[in-house]
Amino acid sequence: MEQKAIIETHGVITIRPIKPAELKDVIKLLKKSFKIHNVFSGPTKDIRKYLAKLRKAEENNPLTFGIIVATLQEEKKDVLAGTMVVRTSAMSKEGLHASFKYMHLAVNEKYRKHGIGTKLMGYADEKIHQLIEKGKIKTARVQVNIAEPEKETINFYEKSGFHVEANLSNYYRYNEQVYILSKLISAEENKEG
Ligand SMILES: CC(C)(COP(=O)(O)OP(=O)(O)OC[C@H]1O[C@@H](n2cnc3c(N)ncnc32)[C@H](O)[C@@H]1OP(=O)(O)O)[C@@H](O)C(=O)NCCC(=O)NCCS
C-alpha cells in the first residue's frame, strides 16, 4: 500500500493538534493548496487573523479540537505533511447532538495519495467517536463544503462516508457552485464499527 511506502522512507505519520511554531508552515500549505480561496489567496497577516478567530471561536467549547496537523520525519525533524481545521458549528439545546465542520483539509502536494488526508479525517472522526463513548454527545453531523475548483475531491470524501447533500449557487464567489457534503456519526455506528 502507498502508506507503507511513505512510512518506509519517512517513518510514522503522526496526527496531532498544531504546535504554535507550526502555524507558519500551515499558512504556507493553505496558500499553496487553495489558490483562489477568499482568505488564503490574500495577505499572510489576514490568514493569521482568520485562523486566530477560528481558534478563539472554539476556545470555550468542551468538544473542540481545532487545527490538527499530519507530520512526517525528515532527517529526524518533524515536517508538516498536512492540516485540517475542525469546528463545532451547532449544538442542540440539551447538548446531545453536535454539528462539526471539517475545513481547509490540505496535504502537501509531494505527499498526496499516500493516505494522509484520510488519516487526518480519521483522527477527527475518532475524537467524535470518543465524545459519543464518553456520553458527551449521542449523535454528530459532520459537514464539508466543497467549492467548484475542488470538485474532484468529492470522490475522496465519499470514500470516508460523506455524501453530497445539497449544492449552493454563488456562495463563496459569483457564478460558482458549492457542494455541501455530510455524514452522521452515532452510537449505533460505534457499535457496528
Ligand atoms: C484532497 C486531499 C486533501 C487528499 O489528500 P490525500 O492525502 O492525497 O488523500 P488520500 O491519499 O488519503 O486519498 C484517499 C482516497 O481518495 C482518493 N483521492 C485523493 N485525492 C483525490 C482527488 N483529488 N480526486 C479524486 N480522488 C482522490 C485517493 O485516490 C484515495 O483512494 P484509494 O483509497 O482508493 O487509493 C489533497 O489532494 C489536497 O490537499 N488537495 C488540495 C486541497 C483540497 O482540494 N482540499 C479539499 C477541499 S477542502
Delineate the domains of the chain, giving CATH numbers in brackets: 2-192 (3.40.630.30)
**Shortest-distance atom of ligand 1 to CA 82:** 39
Q: Whose CA is nearest to atom 20 of ligand 1?
A: 156
Q: Taking the model in full, what pTM does it have?
A: 0.92
With 50 as the cut, is the pLDDT of residue 193 above it? no
107 pocket-lining for ligand 1 (C-beta < 6 Å): yes
Give which of 155, 52, 140 is closest to 102, Cα–Cα.
140
How far, in Å, CA of 170 to CA of 105, rounded?
A: 22
Evaluate: CB of 159 within 6 angstroms of ligand 1. Answer: yes
**What integer pLDDT is reported at residue 89 of this predicted model?**
84
Q: Is 153 in the pocket of ligand 1 (CB under 6 A)?
A: yes
Kindly tell me if the per-residue pLDDT of 156 is higher than 90. Answer: yes
Average pLDDT over residues 94-112: 93
Cα 46 to averaged position of ligand 1 atoms, centre (Å): 27
**CA-closest candidate to residue 101, choices 192, 10, 34, 182:** 182
